Amino acid sequence: MTNIPTVKLGIIAVSRDCFIISLSERRRAAVVAACQAKGVDIYECKTTVENEKDMLKAVDEVKAAGCNALVVFLGNFGPETPETLIAQKFDGPVMYAAAAEETGKDLIDGRGDAYCGMLNCSYNLGMRHLKAYIPEYPVGTAEDIAAMIQDYVPIARALIGLSKLKIITFGPRPQDFFACNAPIKGLYEIGVEIEENSELDLLVAYKAHKDDPRIPEICADMAKEMGEGRYYPEMNERMAQLEVTLLDWAEQHKGAREYVAFADKCWPAFPEAFGFEPCYVNSRLVSRGIPVSCEVDIYGALSEYIGMCVSGDTVTLLDINNSVPADLYHEDIEGKFPYQLTDTFMGFHCGNTPSCKLCADRAVKYQLIQHRLLEPKGSDPDFTRGTLEGDIAPSQITFYRLQCDSEGKLRSYIAQGEVLPVKTRSFGGIGVFAIPEMGRFYRHVLVQKRYPHHGAVAFGHYGKALFEVMKLLGVEDIAYNQPKSLPYPTENPFV
């Protein structure tokens, strides 16, 4: 996954000049050793910051070492102005944490008062309108702070990635598909660039890649990935041609940015014009860290990219699609899993989920709904072939989305759950999902706050990191699936 950044951490210790500097330096060395014990690589800046000149020197030192994310460590009370100016001068995400006192036997020269210093640090960050990551409880021993730093890595990776991301689109959203409405104002607010193109631009580029010498190698890789009998051999060259087209477009159009994501129109004109559905190709790109969202869903692509950075793994984009039938629930879920019927639903999309996240019987098939719409009744599927279909493999999941609403305001939701090991008996890339209190979440978050039906899916529980990323992006409305003991503001107390 070369389309997400690699985090190179640095740590700078600060010390108030009326405190003993060696205390902060000793505690910094202990944090570095604790990080190494956890397998977290971190550059130890040898300049300890007591004043503004020290601050400039330390920032230059970590920049020269190639650091793109920083930990500012209050080994003692810390100097308010210099320590906060670090976040202003360093070009990248910054975390602040403070040392806990170590022993009741040394509270004279061994007392650092960093617990107090963190308050003034936060106050001064606010005075300067600087954003920084402060852990849930930011004071601890060396081992505690090493664990905080470990949690900080995926957060930093997402923030770095977004600061260098360009989303490339092809085509407007399909007719009557306002669910993918995307005011781009929100992208600029979080530092993401966008390039909007026509479907014709993609078609012209696609035709220019006919007989590209890379196509045979990609065809062989597709065949290896799917296995004999699970793909259409006569379509591989066409799909491989689209893959090289998108990869070349990304490389040639990223411009001043380092990372890309796509939001492409995939129906109704695409399959007839190109001769296939693009879903399988999209799945292959997303498995390599390049999101290709369906139906020009710009904020779907953005959400996918955030999830990739946080999880370090591939993701998918699904419709929050259909309810689980009561008979299926009673047969396969009730009494076997701790969920009510309303906790369950099916997540579906035509075929963009990477093969590594599907069950072993997955295969390249045809888009049933598009076949009904676009091809003659009773005919064999032709250009509507090209979806990657199968049940999504059982896994812990996080369902989430970052969206810009019709008023131009960013809002987000995050809900953790799982894909159940239950056969869907349906078509597409699809799974039976279970999220605690999904019924209430569906009504009082997804419906009440007018979210679109697309949601991004990360394969694991990443709510903690995603929540912090959204906060640091300035998102004020971050919804989640609240327990029964915590009613939603719009929830009727008499029901």
DSSP line for 57-76: HHHHHHHHTT-SEEEEEESS
How far apart are the C-alpha atoms of 121 and 25, rounded to whole Å? 19
pTM of the model: 0.96
3-state secondary structure string across 189-218: HCCCEEEEECHHHHHHHHHHCCCCCCHHHH
How far apart are the C-alpha atoms of 395 and 315, rounded to whole Å? 12
* Torsion sign over Cα 168, 172, 178, 181: positive
For the purposes of burial, counting CB atoms within 10 Å of the CB of 430, is it exposed (0-12), middle (13-18) or buried (19 or more)? buried
Residue stretches of the chain with pLDDT short of 70 = 179
CB 17 within 8 A of CB 48: no
What are the residue ranges of helices labelled H in 298-367?
Answer: 298-311, 326-332
Query: According to the model, what pLDDT value does residue 365 have?
Result: 97
Q: What is the dihedral of CA 141, 144, 148, 153, to 10 degrees?
A: 100
CB 194 within 8 A of CB 219: no
46 three-class SS: coil
CB 156 within 8 A of CB 7: yes
Q: Is 280 left (phi over 0), alpha (psi -120 to 50) or beta?
A: alpha
Quick one: which H or E segment has residue 403? strand 395-404
CB 172 within 8 A of CB 265: yes
Quick one: which H or E segment has residue 163? helix 142-163
CB 13 within 8 A of CB 49: yes
Query: According to the model, what pLDDT value does residue 103 have?
Result: 92
Point out which residues pair with 72 in neighbouring strands.
12, 96
How far apart are the C-alpha atoms of 135 and 140, rounded to whole Å? 11
Pull the structure tokens for residue 430: 């699809």
Beta strands in 52-157 (DSSP E): 69-74, 94-99, 139-140
The DSSP code for 445 is I
pLDDT tens-place string over residues 195-206: 999 999 999 999
Diameter of the chain measured on Cα atoms = 87
Distant-in-sequence, close-in-space partners of 156: CB < 8 Å, separation ≥ 6: 7, 9, 68, 69, 92, 93, 95, 133
How many residues belong to the chain? 495
Please, what is the angle between helix 52-64 and helix 80-89, to 10°? 30
pLDDT tens-place string over residues 20-45: 999 999 999 999 999 999 999 999 99
Query: According to the model, what pLDDT value does residue 179 have?
Result: 65
327 three-class SS: helix
How far apart are the C-alpha atoms of 165 and 167, rounded to whole Å? 7
Query: According to the model, what pLDDT value does residue 465 have?
Result: 98
How far apart are the C-alpha atoms of 211 and 220, rounded to whole Å? 15
Angle (nearest 5°) at CA 192 between 187 and 196: 75
3-state secondary structure string across 14-63: ECCCCCCHHHHHHHHHHHHHHHHHCCCCEEECCCCECCHHHHHHHHHHHH
